[in-house]
Chain A
Amino acid sequence: EVVMTQSPGTLSVSPGGGATLSCRASQGVGSSLAWYQQKPGQAPRLLIHGAYLRATDIPSRFRGGGSGTAFTLTITSLQSDDFALYFCQQYSEWPFTFGPGTKVDI
C-alpha cells in the first residue's frame, strides 16, 4: 500500500498571504496525484488532478506541482473561502490512499 503523508498538519496564514502544502508518497505514483479541499460539514471538492491540472472552475491561485513521490499545492492570495482542510490522494494503484490532511487556518 502506498502511504501518503502531508505536512504541515496545520498552517496558519493571513488573508492575502500564500501557503505551500506538501504531500509525499512512500513509493512513486507518477503524476497520479489529486488534491481535494474540504470545509466543515461538506463533501470534499476536487482541486487538482494529474499532479498539476486544475479541475473545472478552480481558480488559478491554486497550483499543483511535483511528480513521483513529492508533491506540493501552492495557494496564493488566500481568500476567506480558502481556509479549509486539504487532502492529497494517490490513484496510481489500489488501494487508493489519502494523506491525513493539512488544515489551513487564519
Chain B
Amino acid sequence: EVQLSESGGGLVQPGGSLRLSCVASGFTFTNYAMNWVRQAPGKGLEWVSSISASGGNKYYADSVKGRFTISRDNSKSTLYLQMTSLRGEDMAVYYCARMGSSWKDYFDLWGLGTLVTVSS
C-alpha cells in the first residue's frame, strides 16, 4: 500500500528541539520530492519546507528559516524535519506530503500527521 507515516511529535518546551520522521512505503521514494506542511489547531494549511528527490535542493518558509532543517535518507525511504528554537506558533499537526511527478508540483499523497505541542 502506498503510504506515508509520520512520527516524532510530542510535547516540547519553548526553545526546545524535536525531530520528525516520515517513512514512505509502497512507492519508489527516490523518485519524488517531498514536503512538510503544518496545520495549527483550527487553522488552515501552511507549507513549511520542500526537498528535492536527491536532497540537493531545499526550500523553507520564512517563518521557519534558520530554525528548521529538512533532510532525507533515501536508503531508508525516510524524510526528516529537525526543528529547533521552537515557539508557540510552531504548535501544529505536521504532515509530510509527496510532491507530484516533477519538482515544484502539487502534493498527491499525504501522511496522517504528527502533533507538535509547544508549551511550558
Contact = CB atoms under 8 A, between A and B. Distances in A.
A28 interface: no
Nearest to A43: B110
Contacts of A101: 44-45
B1 interface: no
Nearest to A45: B110
A44 B50 contact: no
Interface string A45-66: 1100110000100000000000
Contacts of B104: 32, 91-94
Nearest to B60: A95
A42 B95 CA distance: 11
Given A46-B108, A49-B106, A89-B106, A97 B113 contact: no
A55 B108 contact: yes
Interface string B75-116: 000000000000000000001000010001111111111000
A89 B50 contact: no
A44 B110 contact: yes
B105 A98 contact: no
B110 A91 contact: no
Contact of A34 (B35, B59, B106, B111): B106
B61 interface: yes
A49 B113 contact: no
A87 B110 contact: no
A99 interface: yes
18 contacts: A34-B107, A36-B45, A36-B107, A42-B112, A43-B95, A44-B95, A46-B106, A49-B100, A49-B106, A49-B108, A87-B44, A87-B45, A89-B106, A92-B104, A96-B47, A98-B44, A98-B46, A101-B45
Interface of B: 35, 44-47, 50, 59, 61-62, 95, 100, 104-113
Counting from the closest, the 9 A-B pairs by CB-CB distance are: A34-B106, A49-B106, A43-B110, A96-B47, A98-B45, A94-B59, A100-B44, A46-B108, A101-B44
